[in-house]
Structure 1
Amino acid sequence: MNKAEFYRTETDRIEWKRSPQDSDGILRATCALANDLGGSGEPGRLVIRLEKDGFRRGVDAQRLDQIQQDLSSRLRSTKIQPTPSFDISVDHGDDGVTLLVITVIPYPVPPMVMVDGVAWVRQGSSTRRATQADLLRLNERRPEHSQPFDLRPIAAATLQDLNLGLLRARYETERDEDLDEETFPGLEQWLTQRQLGRLITRIWRPNPAALLLFGVSPQSWLPGGHGRVCTLRGTGHR
């Protein structure tokens, strides 16, 4: 998502707020973006001092630091639990208007993020209290987050972060040896079948196991990660 999209229209991953003083509204929107009901896996954006009609009202530059501190304290308060991962950035527009953008990372639900014990979600361009159906939907994600760490896809990684030359060679060898090449899966499906990643919002994402074994730069994704090779000697095979 590029920056221009933040100001184009509100979506299930973008919300605009007129005032940084709208404490309840900001907490609920942050909660909803963290819960990521649609399972997009993409960061949510909360734009402060942008009217619902798109008018860029802007933040008082002389109070910018204080406003950021107040927002940060509010989002780390006990009113919103568990505390989602977020970042507050300043956008100095070409028109001279300064806006604040809160980037909210989807929380690994469950547990759900709540404000004063109530879960909130985004539906289209609206933030609303989660229904019973929403809560069931969020709780259904438990199997994915119960998987071992090395099998969980990394949202920022792509197929290009893997050694495609090596993987394509293995893929083509297996396809050539298959009795029915016409029904042989495509590369991404083949990788998914080998538990090296899966599709997330139409983009194939590798998991830590794939990056460690076939990554172009494993250390970029798994600092300190390493693998061990054990050779077992027997009477017949090695």
Structure 2
Amino acid sequence: MSQEGPGDLDRVFKALGNETRRRILRFLAQRAHYPYELSTMLGLTPRGVFKHLESLQKAGLVEREHGESDLGPDRVYYRLNVRFGLSTTILPDSFVVRLTRHGRTGRIVIPQGFVIPEARPDVAAVRRLLRELGKVNRRLSDLDEERMRFASLRGKIIRQIEIIMDEAQWDEESCQKVRTLLDPVRQQMDESIEEEAWTSTAQEALQLFERMFSSQAQQLKKKKSSQEKEEEFVVDLEK
């Protein structure tokens, strides 16, 4: 399974559908933890934590690593092993599941205008951290609203493509090929690769339409030719 993104979205959604597993991921986002440590933090038995970690590992979200312990033998730690963004947008005219993958060694640049205040044990430092966190939350909210608008726009554009296929009376297999090509799930390393991948996808979809339109044109031509021959035959009989 890829280290930059999950290989099975169904397993990912199933893993994320449990509150305890989401809490585990929040803890692991801070640093690696060993199971007994997590069981204490969660108020669960080690056996229960192991089951949740197993589900997260099968989904490709965490991995195991051995680490030293001051109290005895080495411990098995769990940590996050993926870097990806997963968003789901559900609207009356659109359903979009989008996966954005980031390189494992790639550095995620802090957006312009934002900073990470220094962690110091005083009220002023906490105030700065909370102020910056508020700015980030507002920006994320704005991005969510913008994503919703674009998801709706995407749905309307897809509907136009569906109308073309409906009016052309395409068979379901051909329609499904186009729908599969236009599936919004993406597992890309960066924007340049994503743009390249979309160009290839668009070309492939366009080729499908060209073949279908060409095939339909030939069928219409044959049908017209056949009708003309029938008309000529009728005229000859009348003579």
TM-score normalized with structure 2 length: 0.31
TM-score normalized with structure 1 length: 0.31
Structure whose CA Rg is larger: 2
Higher relative strand content: 1
Higher relative helix content: 2
